[in-house]
Structure formats: structure tokens, C-alpha cells
Structure 1
Amino acid sequence: MNKNVVVIGGGIVGLCTAYFLNKEGFEVTVIDKGDITSGASFVNAGYITPSHIIPLASPGMIAKGIKMMFNSASPFYMKPRLDADFLKWSWQFHKSSTPAKVEKAIPLIKEINLISRELFTDIKNSGDLGDFQLERKGLLMLYKTEASYLHEKKVADRVAFEGLEVTELNKEELKTLEPNVQIDAEGAIHYECDGHTTPTEVMPKLLNYLIQQGVSINTNEEVLDIKSSNGILKEIITDKDNYKPAEVVMAAGSWSGELAKKLNLSLSLQGGKGYRINVERETGISIPAILMESKMAVTPMNGFTRFAGTMEFSGNNTIVRKERVLAIANGAHSFYPELEINSAEINSAKTGLRPVSPDGLPYIGKSTSIKNLTIATGHAMMGWSLGPVTGKLVSEVISNKKTSMDITSFSPNRTF
């Protein structure tokens, strides 16, 4: 077997794919159009979330998007635009947002997250990356209103039914768990099954490990064209070089759809923009939380607390909308009244694009029309959580091994 593989994309999925392919003895080259220091893999909340069993494409989400469409500060924002790909994706998203399809997705999302959670632990225990933050303190769903509580209680009941650890906390129990910060909330649902990391710590360590193992990391290199004939990908042409690999992995996040077009493939994807603010001073926050009414995430990372959130569909751009950053700052203050995020912290906010498929499930698997192409993208808000398992599954696919789970439902060739 020719063991030369090119991975297009150097985010968490691309690097984890390189990690597991390298373990299988493949000669791996990673190509990324940036310098692998920014983007969704660096600005996410760092969650490992088996509790997130409900896909983004769920009943009522399109209605919420339309309702919020003309408020660019809203947590779920879809910028009105006449774009054929976006309109097609929106219709597919709508068709996927049914109770039956959500029900089918739940066990799949649970299984793939649990496998990935264990792989994070395996990677840490291997010592390959040295030491890095990997904690299992769970995730607090903080709520102010009964409506939010009742909404999350339905999810929590289902999470418990699926065998995952979840408890309910009243105000006093919440205070006992988080004694060093004032929280303006009526209570919380605590998903004890979840964990968290510091992405800006893991990514450089993973990158350094791959370089030490002889993986070629080619940064600031853009793919200009991809040539195929008779169902085989023959050549990748970049602005710096040409490659003729035996196998190719497309893990370019939100840009994967555009790259797929170069092979006359239709890969329905939209970039869902998220924002983060880092507070590099003591906040007293020790457990990750989602602030339900503010629809944002809070994570105590190594050296700072991260406040992250929003899902913005406005095209593949990295423009920082100040009103959305301010919404995060204000949302944090509403739950942590003693915390004021200052103007310097607001001005240093960053953004990243998460690749979102129409049904909220990732694309993982071989292309049916290009037999030496494997696709790994479309993870929406679970990209960080599912990075290791995606890399493992891709390495199994390319090695012709039995996959760690059935990936039929993740097929990049599926219809909506």
C-alpha cells in the first residue's frame, strides 16, 4: 500500500487525523492556508460534550433564525442574502429539523462523543503531547427562568435515559459547587459527564508532536486546484507546490464545500461564526457553564477564563461584529454581576468559523465518486469535542480497518 496521505486543513480535525495516520505508519503532509494559530480550533469553548446529544438541526431552529434575522446582535443570526448555496443549505436544514431525524441522531451523537472523550484521555495518558489541561468537572446549564429550566429538564431527562451522568442543583447547591464567584441564577443542571480543555494549549502541543514525528506541516499554502480522472484524485495544486498523494483527506472546515466543487462534488456546508473573549485575570469561575438565557459558554482555561458564543451565518468571513462581542460581555455580566469585561478584553475578541452540515451531523467517510478521497468536516459546535474520534475514524477508513463505530449516518454522500 502506498502510504502517502495529504490532509487539507490544519484545525483540530486535520491535526488529529494526521496524529492517528502517523500512528498507523502513513507518510503524512498537512496543508493549511493559514499559519495554524487562529480560527475555530483556537477560539472555541474547549468542551468535551457527551451531553450535547441534540443536533443543531432540531425543530424550531429555522423559525428562531428567521425571527432573529434582522438583529445582528442575536445569539443565532442568519444574515439575509441571496446566495444559492446558503438557500439550498437552509432548505436542507429545515427538512432535517424533524423529531424523527433528531431521534435518530441522538444515539449517534452520544456514541461518537463518548469515544472521543476516551481518546482525549488516551492522548493525555500517552504523554505524546506532554501535560495539558483535561478536566472532568462537568458542565453547568445555568438558568434564570422556569421556562429555561423546563426546556433543559427535558434534555437532562433524555441524557439520563441515555445513561449519562446528570444532576440538578438549586441555588444553595450551586453556591457550594462554585463558592468563589457570585452567580445570578435560580439553579443549574449539571452534566457531570462532560469535560474541558484549553484549545490554545492543546493545538501547539499537537502541532509540535506531529513535526517531531516527521509529519510535514505546510502552512500559509492555499489549494488552488484539485485534479481527478476516472474517479481518482490525481493531483493537488497549491500556490507553492504540486502533490500527487495516494490518499487525500479533506478536513478544511468551512472551506471544504468550496474545495469539493473543484472535484464536482456537492458538499452542503455553511460557516457558523463564533466569538470569544478571554479574561486573563481571576474570575473565581472553576466549572464550565452555559448561560442559558444569554446563550453563551464560559470555560475556566489554563491562565484565563473564556467567554464564547453565538452562531452567525453570514458567509465565510472572519469579520468581528462589535455588537455580537458586546452581547457576550453583557450576557456574562448578567449571570456574574461582579464581573465586568473591560474594553481592552472586548477589543481583543477573536472569531472562528465552524463548519455546519444541514442535519447537524459531521461528514466522515469516503467519497463514492472519488475513491481515494476521505472527507472529515461538518462538525458544527462539536468540532473540538469530536476532533480525536474523527481522526481515529479517518485513519481506520484509510487503513481499511473496522471502524470504532458505524459511520454510515455520517456519510458525505448522504442526501437531505
Structure 2
Amino acid sequence: MKNVLIIGGGIVGLSTAYFLNKEGFAVTVIDKGDITSGASFVNAGYITPSHIIPLASPGMISKGIKMMFNSASPFYMKPRLDADFLKWSWYFHKSSTPAKVEKAIPLIKDINLISRELFTDIKNSGDLGDFQLERKGLLMLYKTEASYLHEKQVAERVAFEGLEVSDLNKTELHQLEPNVNIDAEGAIHYECDGHTTPTEIMPKLMAYLKQQGVVIRTNEEVLDIKSSGSSIKEVVTNKGSYKPEEVVLAAGSWSGELAKKLQLKLPLQGGKGYRINIERDTGITIPAILMESKIAATPMNGFTRFAGTMEFSGLNDIIRKERVTAIANGAQAFYPDIKINDTEIKNVKTGLRPVSPDGLPYIGKSSNIINLTIATGHAMMGWSLGPATGKLVSELLTDNKTSMNIAAFSPNRTF
């Protein structure tokens, strides 16, 4: 029985532990936090086959430059003289071409569909007990014709890829969401999408893994990774050391820094997202993205979550009040009767999503280090792609045929 050390206890790390444990590996997960916060806990909970367009798409860099000096904007890049950030920005720019987006679309769709089925399989297995997993779709709510026409193009491509999507006018939207006042002209409804409550699944997944004998060590930070020749020999932490046969690097936004300890280049930036929870009835029953506000609204188990923004400002958990206010105002612009109060605003949380320069995740074995597998860089789809990534890593480590061709996700790719 091979022993595997997984660095990182987010949805990707724990999903990897889940599938490796099923294959009979002896698994240890270490995380520098206590696995109660971060991107896996503050995300919108979406399972989104419809999100086929990568973040690195034409026009995104010019949008970023325009928004660079407005720290309340939905897409914010803090100007800074940081070599890694400048390199990443250049790679992002090079990746934002129509041809590269076209290549990425079927890959993003396929891995999302694999993950959607795996979420269902995990629920049906009863391993985690009961948890929210609904397929009500995702509403793209719009106020302007420009937003509608932009999303209609995406919807046509989504339909071309064989996914279920429909176009709703104001009346049809009201019929679908009769218990909440929505100030929108209509919606594109991606019926193919689902949603969950991350704060419900994460503790249940952790409890199940412990029960199965997976060792989970929290508040343990990796200080060094020692290699000899082409393999990792020892992982040194602030609490001890490990001599694993296989290492999976799934440390989210911190994966790039850890890769440097092995002289590996893994271009990655942390994109900060914010969430506000409302623990009272809002009348919202279907997840929605408020297009002009660039905010996600999700009806979760026991609360409604408003989440959003992509902020590139380094690896920190600084909360920018102007960004929180923008989410509260953006939510009210679409749901005029929902007033987010001061207490709800004060309880805001953030998480850092690991963003690769081309919008595709890094999933694969390192070409330099034979016992290292990398699983990170999922940007805004980390939650959606967690189970699929875990399954793919388990297939790589058991030398089985992978569920899809993952050559494009190679961590050894150049930009």
C-alpha cells in the first residue's frame, strides 16, 4: 500500500484523499490552516458545466487595466512591482486569444460534466450522509441589452456543446422565481448547472475521511521539500517531517510558492473572492449571477450567499471595505427588497482562488519530479471541479486510463 502525502486540505485536496483512499492508498493530508475557512468555504457552491469560457479570454486584460485604479471594481488588479505577478500577467495576456479560448471550451465542459456526475455518485454512495445537491440550473440575470446579447452568444455556444439552456423573458423569470422581487429584464437559464452548500460538505467529507483512516493534520505548514535526484525524499513542516512515496501538491493559491522549493515554475496568482451570508428567508430558490453587478447569489442550506469579485493583490486576507459594500449594493440592485444589514456585512469572509494564466487547471505529474502530482489552478471553478480533479489524480497514481485527456492541464506546459 503506497503512502501519499497531500499538501492542502481544500476541496481539491480532500477529494483527492477520498478517491485515493478508495484505491487503497495510505493517505495523509496536511494543511497550514484548520480547514474551516478559505476558498473551499466561501465560494458560491456552483457546479457549472455552463462556465465554458476561461477567465483568460479576449478583452480581460484591458478590462483589468481599466479597473486597476478602482479597488471597488469586480475585477481588480492591484498595481505592484512583483516579478511573479508581472510574468503571470504577461502569460495571461498571451493566453487571452480566441484560438486558445476555443481549445479550452470542450475541455472545461468535459471536466465539469465528470465532476457533476461524481458529486451525484458521492451523494448516492451515502458516504457523507445527506447534503444539499440540487439541479435547478443557474440564472444569468441582466438589466441591459448589451449584457443580454453578450450572454446570448455564450448560451448559443453552450447549447452547441449539448448542454441545456433556455432564454427567459421578464414574465417567465417571475414564474420561475415568484417569491422574490427581481429587478431584471430577463435571464439566460443554464439548466445544466447545479449547486451545493460548501460549508455543509467540507466538514462531512473531512469526518468521513478520518473515519476511513485518512490522517488529517491541521495548522501544519510546509517549511521545506527536500528532493534528491528526481524525487522528493522528505517534506519538512513546523511540526515534523514526512517521507512519502508520492506527494500531491494541492495547496491552492500557495502551490506556486511551494513549487519553488523544488525549483519548479508554476505560474499562479491568488484571486480573492468575498462572500456575505444572509441567514433569513430571501425568497431566492434558484442560483443566479447578477450580470452587471458581477455577483453570484446562491440559496444554500439555511442561508442565502452573495459572493463575488476577483481581486489580485497578493497572498493576504485583507478585507477591502469598498469591495464588500459593492457586493451589498450590487445585490440590492437586482433584489431591491433584500437589504443586507451591517451585521451581515461585518461577518464577510474572503478566500483566495488559485488562478493559472490560461484559465485551465494544473492537473498532472511533474516532468522533473517523478513522485510529484500537481492539482491546483482551478480559478473560480475549484469547487465545481474538486471531485473530478481528485478522481483524475487517483487515476494517475494507479496508472489507470484517465477519465478524459488531460494533456492540456499539464503543469509542465509553457505559456
| TM value normalised by structure 2 | 1.00
- Which residue of the partner structure matches residue 144 of structure 1? 143
Distance in 1, Cα, partners of 2:128 & 2:270: 29
Residue 383 of structure 1 aligns to a residue in which SS? Answer: helix
What's the offset of the Cα at 1:114? 0.2
Residue 384 of structure 1 aligns to a residue in which SS? Answer: helix
Counterpart residue type for residue 332 of structure 1 = A
Residue 112 of structure 1 aligns to a residue in which SS? Answer: helix
* Aligned structure 1 segments of 4 or more residues deviating by more than 6 angstroms: none
- Which residue of the partner structure matches residue 327 of structure 2? 328
Distance in 2, Cα, partners of 1:315 & 1:196: 29
Residue 58 of structure 1 aligns to a residue in which SS? Answer: coil
Distance in 2, Cα, partners of 1:98 & 1:278: 36
Counterpart residue type for residue 84 of structure 1 = A
What's the offset of the Cα at 1:356? 0.1
- Which residue of the partner structure matches residue 160 of structure 2? 161
What's the offset of the Cα at 1:255? 0.1
Distance in 2, Cα, partners of 1:346 & 1:386: 29
Distance in 2, Cα, partners of 1:163 & 1:267: 33
Residue pairs, 1:47-58, within 5 angstroms: 47-58=46-57
What's the offset of the Cα at 1:398? 0.6
Counterpart residue type for residue 13 of structure 2 = G
- Which residue of the partner structure matches residue 308 of structure 1? 307
Counterpart residue type for residue 225 of structure 1 = D
| TM value normalised by structure 1 | 1.00
What's the offset of the Cα at 1:151? 0.3
- Which residue of the partner structure matches residue 379 of structure 2? 380
What's the offset of the Cα at 1:206? 0.1
Residue pairs, 1:26-175, within 5 angstroms: 26-175=25-174
Distance in 1, Cα, partners of 2:222 & 2:397: 22
What's the offset of the Cα at 1:63? 0.2
Q: Which runs of 5+ in 2 are unaligned?
A: none
Distance in 2, Cα, partners of 1:3 & 1:206: 22
The CA RMSD over aligned residues, in Å, is: 0.4
What's the offset of the Cα at 1:307? 0.1
- Which residue of the partner structure matches residue 351 of structure 2? 352
Counterpart residue type for residue 120 of structure 1 = F
Q: Percent of counterpart pairs with the same letter? A: 84
- 1:202 has 2:201 as partner: yes
Q: Deviations over 1:11-49 (max 9, x none)?
A: 000000000000000000000000000000000000000
What's the offset of the Cα at 1:110? 0.3
- Which residue of the partner structure matches residue 390 of structure 1? 389
Counterpart residue type for residue 238 of structure 1 = T
Counterpart residue type for residue 95 of structure 1 = K
- 1:246 has 2:269 as partner: no
What's the offset of the Cα at 1:259? 0.2
Q: Deviations over 1:167-210 (max 9, x none)?
A: 00000000000000000000000000000000000000000000
- 1:21 has 2:12 as partner: no
Q: Deviations over 1:342-367 (max 9, x none)?
A: 00000000000000000000000000
Counterpart residue type for residue 155 of structure 2 = A
Length, aligned pairs only: 415
Distance in 2, Cα, partners of 1:308 & 1:56: 17
Distance in 1, Cα, partners of 2:132 & 2:413: 36
Distance in 1, Cα, partners of 2:94 & 2:178: 45
